[in-house]
């Protein structure tokens, strides 16, 4: 059984670029391949920006919750130490 192919709808848009950007684009994509290159570049940028944003949120969250996390670690340290000593330091 063949799986149906996803249909991708394309929309024509006008984009204005600085001349330097167009020269860079022409260095990496032939004129018939510009749309595909720009599509991949946009998707890559959005993915990377999303990853960077997630890292920033995790970092800020760690700072906000640092005192709570330290308190939890200090609370559990004696339990962990007891298990470690009971098992002979394995």
Q: Name the residue ranges covered by the structural domains of the chain.
A: 19-86
Q: Which residues, including other chains, have CB under 8 Å from residue 61's CB and lie 6 or more apart?
A: none
Is the pLDDT score of 2 beyond 60?
no
Q: State residue 78's pLDDT score.
A: 81
Alpha-carbon distance of 28 to 25, in angstroms, equals: 5
Alpha-carbon distance of 18 to 55, in angstroms, equals: 31
> What end-to-end distance do the CA atoms of the chain give, in Å?
54
Is the pLDDT score of 44 beyond 70?
yes
CA 56 to chain centre: 10
Sign of the CA dihedral 12, 14, 15, 18?
positive
- pTM for the structure as a whole: 0.56
């Amino acid at each position: 059984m063949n799986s149906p192919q996803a249909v991708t709808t394309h929309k024509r848009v006008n984009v204005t670029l600085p001349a330097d950007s167009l020269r860079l684009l022409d260095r990496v994509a032939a004129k018939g391949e510009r749309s595909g290159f720009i599509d991949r570049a946009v998707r890559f940028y959005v993915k990377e920006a999303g990853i960077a944003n997630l890292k920033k949120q995790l970092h800020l969250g760690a700072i906000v919750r640092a005192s709570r996390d330290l308190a939890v670690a200090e609370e559990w340290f004696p339990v962990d130490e007891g298990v470690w000593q009971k098992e002979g330091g394995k």
